Structure 1
Amino acid sequence: MPMATPRSEPPPPPQPCTPLLADQNYVVLSPPSCSHSQRRRTTILATTLILTLLAATFSAFVLWPSDPSLKIVRLRLNKVQVHTRPRVTIDVSMSVTIKVQNVDVYAMDYEALEVAVGYRGRRLGQATFQQGYVRALGSSYLDAEVEFNEVGVFSDVVLLLEDLAKGTVPFDTVTEVQGRLGFLVFQFPLQARVSCEVMVNTVNQTIFRHNCYE
């Protein structure tokens, strides 16, 4: 008996595509485009700002006032003498050449230059000299004579007599300058100082060693 062949059913008809509705709660934003001209303007602005800051820093470094520099160029002993009657006193005479150097870009007027001489930390006396002028980025030399007569050393009599017995007496000198730096309508006060330790030979009346520092 012949077998019955099953009939295949035709495939279902294709369903029409239903378009998806866009969700109204979402907004798609496209990233802004950065044009070449915008990048160039940003680079120029950043470069200009950096150069301006560098120029301002350099100008402040150059134009900001600095204190002058003092240097003892020459120091010579003219006389040192100790008197024991009626009381112990000392006479000191020195010649000193001082170099005042102006490191600023403006001229400097110094109002007073003072040289003081001391013995073992005690000031024996001081001398003040006239006003002066130093041009911008220049220097000026001043020759000064410092002389003190019959200065009492009551508190250091024993030490002074011991130094005289050795033939060497230690002195110290302090040189100070005070001035003003003029820039347009502004005035800037300036001050400089240099100290020296001086060893004097009382036998031949000479300075055999001195050490200066600022």
Structure 2
Amino acid sequence: MLSTQPNDTSPFYRPLPSNPQSPEHLPQQSQYVVVLPYYRRPRYSCLILHRRLLCIAAVLPFLIAATYILWPSDPYVSIVRLRLDGLQFHTPPKISIDIKLDLTVKVRNRNFYSIDYDSLAVAIGYRGNRLGYATSNHGCVRARGKSYVSATLQVDGVEFLSDVILLLDDLAKGSVPFDTVTEIDGKLGVSFFDIPLKAKISCEITLNAQNQTIDHQSCYPEEMRLCLQIAK
């Protein structure tokens, strides 16, 4: 007799986990470790950097020195000769005096390019009062050179009684103080550029009335203006 087993057609169910979020029930993720080789910076790149720094350190002082030397500077102006050639007194009704002065101005160019001046004016004063001024027309001072400008100042009818008395007293003492203001209007010739130049230099002079020489002189710049323009 053949034995028969009952046909079990009921479905199979897997029991649900008690905690679905627990680690043991999560799928495992693969972990990767990337190992990179040690990269050593080439030594020659450091040498190139050092060489560049040394070149910059060597060139920089020369650039600073060149800028200092080539930078425009004001001209040096001095009175090399001042001669009191004539005095003439006028009696009342108006007490006045006529003065004639001969002077020579030295202009020294300290730049490495020439100075072309359109006008040079020298104003002469005595104890704070201006007596008059002398002018000179166009001239040129070469680079690192000097030029002499001669002029004659004729002052007629100085009516300041106090100045006349002081001048007579200074002449008797043999020492006469004068002050001058020299103004230069021109330009510096720098390659393709024209640099307009305006300079103003003041000088204090003590004239020896006996031998007509300058005993003492002190000059200092008051003003210097530069404006760069491209030459046409």
Give TM-score, length-normalised by structure 1: 0.72
Judged with a 3 Å threshold, the aligned counterparts in structure 2 of structure 1 residues 52 and 211 are, in CA distance, closer, same or farther, namely closer
Alignment match, 1:17: none
* Structure 2: unaligned runs, 5 residues or longer: 1-30, 221-232
Alignment match, 2:164: 160
* Structure 1: unaligned runs, 5 residues or longer: 1-23
In structure 2, distance between residues paired with 1:84 and 1:77: 21
In structure 2, distance between residues paired with 1:205 and 1:93: 16
Shift of residue 41, structure 1, vs aligned partner: 0.7
1:46-125 alignment, distance < 5 Å: 46-125=53-132
Q: Is the 8 A contact 1:75 1:94 kept in 2?
A: yes
1:151-172 per-residue CA deviation (whole Å, 9 max, x = no partner) reads 332xxx1353254256255433
Alignment match, 2:183: 176
In structure 2, distance between residues paired with 1:107 and 1:208: 29
Judged with a 3 Å threshold, the aligned counterparts in structure 2 of structure 1 residues 209 and 118 are, in CA distance, closer, same or farther, namely same
CA RMSD, Structure 1 to Structure 2 (Å): 2.8
1:122-163 per-residue CA deviation (whole Å, 9 max, x = no partner) reads 11211111111011111111222222122332xxx1353254
Q: Is the 8 A contact 1:199 1:208 kept in 2?
A: yes
In structure 1, distance between residues paired with 2:110 and 2:145: 7
Letter in 2 for 1:160: V
Larger RCO, structure (CA 8 Å, separation 6 or more): 1
Alignment match, 2:196: 189
Shift of residue 27, structure 1, vs aligned partner: 7.7
Residue from 140, 147, 151 that aligns with 1:140: 147
